[in-house]
């Protein structure tokens, strides 16, 4: 059994894949190195002497520079390496341009999933009654009503998958026309237009908020908006919501799943609680599935600006044209300025859990993160909360926070999401299926009742990136069709939305 993995022939570090780690003084025969200290599971060991200020190379690129001489066998981690500004990191280390994995393949036979056709032509994977709010003030009443609808009304309408509240911390006490205010506003509006929600929308407001229904949902019929300040007491509020909900449920119940081409799926790629194996197992497997989806004509989004910031030089090699490159440059500049205003840099992204899992720098994390985009051509770049426009692979310039990224991808129109993790996270959303993918066998065994796909099997040699990617692709179709539930959906564990708001709070 192998003890370490070297990702690229040019690498001067390898990753320990023995679950108990490598003990001090251990001879790693496959690379002919004796460890100078214990090297934990998932962490890096130097394969040769790395002189002070020389690059530490993983994935064939510099992920950092040595603070001191690092002899062969040294445990390489965040304490003995440093990084430079993004534009200085990989000017001396060559990278190989990725070839499109399926460039020479003929267009495959049309595949179908069983989904819901919407009146606007889009296709959903769920048939939901959604209570969209204009302001946080109404959340308590809306949550009460949702519980009551689920208990008393939903059983009468078997073709409706669920009733959900679309709550958010926005709507009043904000600079409604301030710089950056367009981001949360279009996010909230576009979430209500997600293909899983658009057919069953309700709008609930308070009555005195800045983000009023006219501004929030300009195309929604005013006669169907419920304003709580117009109701005579709490009971009347709930009764009004219940009556309208029953009407909408009746309409939704007439819908049934029908065969829809896979080309009409919109799939989001995300990772959280990442570790050193993210870029070796789960993310490349998701990337292979992404390439398969693109081959079938689907729309795929990958995101997380601060996590791909140090891989943009690789992303640019894959972009459709100079207009797409220019748009990426604009988004990178915007986000760099946003971080500078808060007096933080990109390194703030890497969490304590990431480091414990072997990710020493944000550059190393970036290289693993971008792997989930596969090798396809990047046809578009969209701003935070904008809707996806084109078939193929799109980069959405969202923040990297799991909850913010998930919220913003939802606004962009995803109807299924893949979420990889190496450390473990219980993240899930009630609006779309979220497939949890583990990077290593330790997490898969520990969280056997939460993880949907075990990509740790790539690490053990039981599967390959290709076979895991194909399995994920097939699983997406089953999940989108409602044939099976994700494990998190089975337990009903869900997180709240987190709308990105860079504008001032007043």
DSSP 8-state secondary structure symbol assigned to residue 385 = T
**31-57 tens-digit pLDDT:** 999 999 999 999 999 999 999 999 999
Q: What is the mean pLDDT of the chain?
A: 94
Average pLDDT over residues 316-323: 92
Q: Which pTM was predicted?
A: 0.94
pLDDT at 96: 44
What distance in Å separates the CA atoms of residue 364 and residue 13, rounded to the nearest whole number? Answer: 12
DSSP 8-state secondary structure symbol assigned to residue 100 = P
pLDDT at 93: 39
What does residue 14 show for φ and ψ, rounded to 5 degrees? -130, 160
3-state secondary structure of 410: helix
- What confidence category does residue 352 fall into, taking pLDDT thresholds of 50, 70 and 90? confident
Q: b/e per residue, 436-474, with b = 16+ CB within 10 A?
A: bbbbbbbbbeebeebbbbbbbbbbeeebebeebbbbbbe
Percent of the chain exceeding pLDDT 90 equals: 84
Average pLDDT over residues 90-114: 71
What distance in Å separates the CA atoms of residue 128 and residue 200, rounded to the nearest whole number? Answer: 6
**431-475 tens-digit pLDDT:** 999 999 999 999 999 999 999 999 999 998 899 999 999 999 999
What distance in Å separates the CA atoms of residue 11 and residue 40, rounded to the nearest whole number? Answer: 19
Q: Token digits for 189?
A: 């509006």
CA separation, residue 179 to residues 57, 218, 305, 328, 501 (Å): 40, 21, 20, 20, 10
Range in 9-23, 97-111, 116-130 with the lowest mean pLDDT: 97-111
pLDDT at 27: 96
């Amino acid at each position: 059994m192998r003890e370490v993995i070297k990702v690229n022939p040019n690498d001067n570090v390898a990753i320990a894949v023995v679950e108990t780690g490598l003990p001090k003084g251990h001879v790693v025969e496959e690379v002919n190195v004796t460890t100078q200290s214990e090297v934990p599971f998932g962490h890096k060991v130097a394969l040769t002497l790395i002189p002070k200020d020389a690059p530490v190379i993983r994935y064939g690129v510099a992920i950092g520079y040595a603070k001191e001489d690092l002899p062969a066998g040294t445990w390489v981690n965040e304490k003995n390496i440093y990084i430079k500004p993004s534009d200085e990191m990989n000017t001396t280390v060559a990278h190989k341009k990725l070839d499109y994995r399926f460039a020479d393949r003929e267009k495959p036979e049309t595949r179908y999933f069983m989904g819901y056709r919407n009146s606007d032509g889009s296709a959903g994977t769920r048939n939901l009654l959604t209570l969209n709010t204009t302001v946080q003030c109404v959340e308590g009443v809306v949550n009460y009503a949702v519980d009551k609808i689920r208990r008393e009304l939903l059983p009468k309408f078997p073709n409706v998958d669920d009733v959900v509240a679309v709550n958010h911390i926005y709507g009043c006490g904000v600079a409604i026309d301030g710089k950056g205010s367009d981001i949360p506003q279009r996010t909230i509006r576009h979430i209500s237009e997600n293909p899983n929600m658009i057919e069953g929308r309700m709008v609930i407001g308070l009555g005195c908020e800045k983000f009023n229904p006219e501004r929030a949902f300009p195309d929604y019929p005013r006669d169907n908006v419920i304003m709580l300040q117009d109701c005579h007491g709490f009971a009347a509020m709930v009764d009004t919501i219940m009556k309208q909900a029953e009407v909408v449920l009746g309409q939704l119940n007439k819908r049934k799943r029908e065969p829809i081409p896979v080309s009409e799926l919109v799939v989001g790629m995300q990772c959280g609680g990442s570790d050193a194996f993210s870029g070796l197992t789960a993310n490349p497997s998701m990337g292979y599935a992404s390439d398969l989806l693109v081959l079938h004509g689907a729309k795929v989004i990958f995101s997380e600006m601060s996590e791909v910031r140090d891989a943009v030089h690789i992303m640019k090699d894959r972009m459709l044209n100079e207009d797409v490159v220019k748009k990426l440059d604009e988004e990178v500049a915007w986000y760099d300025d946003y971080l500078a205003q808060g007096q933080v840099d990109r390194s703030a992204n890497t969490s304590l859990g990431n480091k414990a899992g072997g990710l020493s720098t944000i550059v190393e994390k970036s290289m693993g993160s971008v792997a989930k985009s596969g090798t396809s051509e990047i046809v578009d770049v969209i701003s935070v909360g904008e809707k996806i426009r084109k078939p193929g692979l799109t980069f959405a310039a969202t923040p990297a926070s799991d909850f913010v990224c998930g919220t913003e991808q939802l606004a962009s129109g995803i109807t299924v999401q893949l979420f990889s993790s190496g450390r473990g996270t219980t993240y899930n959303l009630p609006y779309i299926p979220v497939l949890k993918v583990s990077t290593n066998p330790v997490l898969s065994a520990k969280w056997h009742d939460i993880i949907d796909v075990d990509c740790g099997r790539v690490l053990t040699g039981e599967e390959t990136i290709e076979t895991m990617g194909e399995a994920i692709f097939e699983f997406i179709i089953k999940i989108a069709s409602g044939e099976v539930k994700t494990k998190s959906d089975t337990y009903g564990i869900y997180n709240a939305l987190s709308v990105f708001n860079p504008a001032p709070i007043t």
